[in-house]
Amino acid sequence: MSDGVRRVLVAADKFKGSLTAVEVAAHVTAGLHAVAPRVAVESLPVADGGDGTVDAAVAAGFERRTARVAGPIGEPVEAAYALRDGTAVVEMAEASGLRHLPPGIFAPLTATTYGTGELLRAALDDGATTIVLGVGGSATTDGGAGMLSALGARLLDSDRVPVPPGGAALATLVSADLSGLDPRLADVEVVLASDVDNPLCGPTGAAAVYGPQKGATEEDVRLLDAALAHYAKVLGPRPARTRGAGAAGGIGYGALVGLNARFRPGIEVMLDVLGFEAALARADLVITGEGSLDAQTLHGKAPAGVAAAARAAGVPVVAVCGRLDLTPEQLAAAGITRAYSLSALEPDPTRSIALAAPLLRTLTTSLAADFLS
């Protein structure tokens, strides 16, 4: 750099269960400045569409808005979305996420995405012309049926009454009328942002892969998969095989078939929305990371997306994480020069999570000594 000061871009995701992406950036910055006080650090917390997506957008300058909506089991919850210049970032977990269930309680057969539809409606009320629907962390396996119902669709059983909430009830679906969907959707671009590309049904579908995480037994999974297949037969089977249809309990399918959404990998969408390209142009080192760098990271998670974009621009990348389960060769193939893990300082997972903040600052001083001194 002409002024002799290194410029570092911190573009890391959350450390799930311990630190938000905003907190990660703050502690990394503190660690860097402890060793290299003159380094210019820019923070751009990132997310891949799941938990923390709205927080990342707000940190990048979006305005936080809130709405009172139905939670996954019908109780009211306060949900946030982000808005800037006609673009809304809606995180379905804010309305329909696992975090809204009582501790130890799951509702795999009956949890609904109705509140996500209400959150989308709130974004429309605020004048959004582009909606990024980030999906992940859901408590639901209803194929987005609740979301569509909240937006005006009529999903009816043989008695011409609306089917009950949840994925299991979709087995009773006889007809679907989407003509009543909010007319404003016709003039809005909806982008489905997800870090998974599963189809709706089958052995790699929403129920089989993600149902057990939401409390579904083997029998529940079979029931839900059959119900989703029937649902897709009524609404249209072709989108059910589209990439991302199975995301977040099948809400991807609902967005594709009902909202004319366009699927894009979540981290790619969020890097565009957050202005990553411009920030990257100002950096000569990028620090990324997440709670666990493992095989899943390589398949569309935030650090892989950050590293791919930085490598294309010729900017080196290092990573911080809670736990490291990738070889140096795997890291190099992903475009990450080196990774630093909290577990190297504190092997006990419970203590590592509890002490994540001071451990991360300490870890970053080592990184700064290696790359900035």
- Cβ neighbours of residue 296 under 8 Å, at least 6 residues apart? none
Q: What are phi and psi of 180, to 5 degrees?
A: -90, 5
Question: What is the DSSP secondary-structure string of 291-321?
Answer: EEESGGGGTT-HHHHHHHHHHHTT--EEEEE
The pLDDT value given to residue 6: 87
Q: What is the mean pLDDT of residues 76-91?
A: 97
Q: Please, which pLDDT band fits residue 50 given cuts at 50, 70 and 90?
A: confident
- Is the per-residue pLDDT at 298 higher than 60? yes
Q: What mean pLDDT comes out for the span 41-46? A: 96
The pLDDT score that the predictor gives to residue 58 is: 95
Instruction: Name the average pLDDT for the chain.
Output: 95
Range of weakest confidence among 247-251, 295-299, 321-325: 295-299
Q: Is 315 exposed, middle or buried (0-12, 13-18, 19+ CB in 10 A)?
A: middle
- The whole-number average pLDDT for the span 261-270 is 93
Q: Tell me which residue of 172, 174, 264, 181 sits closest to 223, measured CA to CA.
A: 172
pLDDT of residue 196: 87
Does 259 have pLDDT greater than 70? yes
| The pLDDT of residue 59 is above 70 | yes
Q: What is the pLDDT of residues 166-203, one digit of tens each?
A: 999 999 999 999 999 999 999 999 999 998 889 999 99
Q: How confident is the model at residue 333 (pLDDT cuts 50, 70, 90)?
A: very high
Average pLDDT over residues 215-241: 96
Q: Specify the pairing of strand 130-134 against strand 189-194.
A: parallel
151 pLDDT tier (thresholds 50, 70, 90): very high
- Any idea which residue has 């891949």 for tokens? 48
Q: What is the pLDDT of residue 143?
A: 98
Helix (H, G, I), strand (E, B) or coil at 195: coil
For residue 42, what pLDDT is reported? 96
Q: What is the pLDDT of residue 299?
A: 82
Taking residues 125-139, what's their average pLDDT?
96
Length of the chain: 373
Non-local (6+) Cβ contacts of 301 within 8 A are 13, 48, 195, 267, 290
Q: What's the topology of domain 7-44+275-371?
A: Rossmann fold (3.40.50)
- In angstroms, the CA 273 to CA 280 distance is 14
The average pLDDT across 220-247 equals 96
Under the banding of pLDDT at 50, 70 and 90, the label for residue 5 is low
Domains 7-44+275-371 and 53-267 share a fold: no
Q: Which CATH architecture describes the domain 53-267?
A: Alpha-Beta Complex (3.90)
Query: Hey, where are the domains in the chain?
Result: 7-44+275-371, 53-267
How many degrees, rounded to 5, is the angle at CA 241 between CA 235 and CA 245?
75
pLDDT grade, residue 1 (50/70/90)?
Answer: very low
End-to-end C-alpha distance for the chain, whole angstroms: 15
